[in-house]
Structure 1
Amino acid sequence: MKKVPFLRLRPVILSLIVMTFLAAAWLPTGTFLPGERTNKPQLFLAIDGAAPSQAAEDILFDVQQRIESRHEWRMVEAAAPYAWSLQVQVEEGEQLQIKGVLTSPQSVDGRAAQEQRFNIQGPYDAVGALPEQFVKVLIDLVENAEKHSASL
């Protein structure tokens, strides 16, 4: 009886076909919008205006690094209707102020995006603690809004 080389390759071919089907099933189908592809809140960060001093520039950098290091958020490159939008600005006067404007994503049921304004201020001696407090307030606002929208 003569051996056919094709029969020896049959298990390999079958396994390649099965792997192709598994890969095709794993890939997204394209029916989801980018905001629906993850359960994590997505955030767009915009720094407003030029920093008036080196201390303000350092604060903005610290805030940006703290926000980008959060593992429970996904950062997006551009503002999108499905992502949170945060505008950060530092003002200097008698005290240092970090101002934030947080805009919620547009909801699927047609409600307009809501805007939250918050302000962290303190003396120049507390420069290291201000970005930390700013990010804590931001986390609370986003988490509370996400919990509230999930309960509806």
Structure 2
Amino acid sequence: MGIKKILDGNIQVVDNIDSWEKAIEVGANPLIEKGKIKYGYVEGIIQNIKTLGPYVILIPGVAMPHARPDENVLESSLALLKINEGVKFTEDTDKVYLMFILAAKNSDSHIEIIEKLTDVLGDDEKIEKLIESKTLEEIINNL
């Protein structure tokens, strides 16, 4: 199963967003609407970042907000929010343009998702094209 299939229509594009907290809420919304997670999972992610700092930034321009598996995750899943103008987690961090929201039902069920996401993150050219993409169609074509 490829990353497009895993994302399963859970991709959104916005020009700008007020805060990283709002970005996580917007990015996770398709997962909530499809019954894959409950809002409590989003609250957990936000609280963890406030407590631990921006541990979710994986590489410049890319973050993967996530929290530990809990009862608020009904199905392991992934969503992507592309923020055209980017959003900062702190004044000291670079802007994030690609936000992959990961939800894991348990410690094993998300392994395939992580493997496919690692394939994308390990491809500098693909990441650059995704960051440069401005529309949903461009994002899908560049995945």
TM-score interval (norm. to shorter): under 0.3
- Bigger RCO of structures 1 and 2 (CA < 8 A, at least 6 apart): 2
Scaled by the length of structure 2, what TM-score is found?
0.28
Of the two, which has the highest radius of gyration?
1
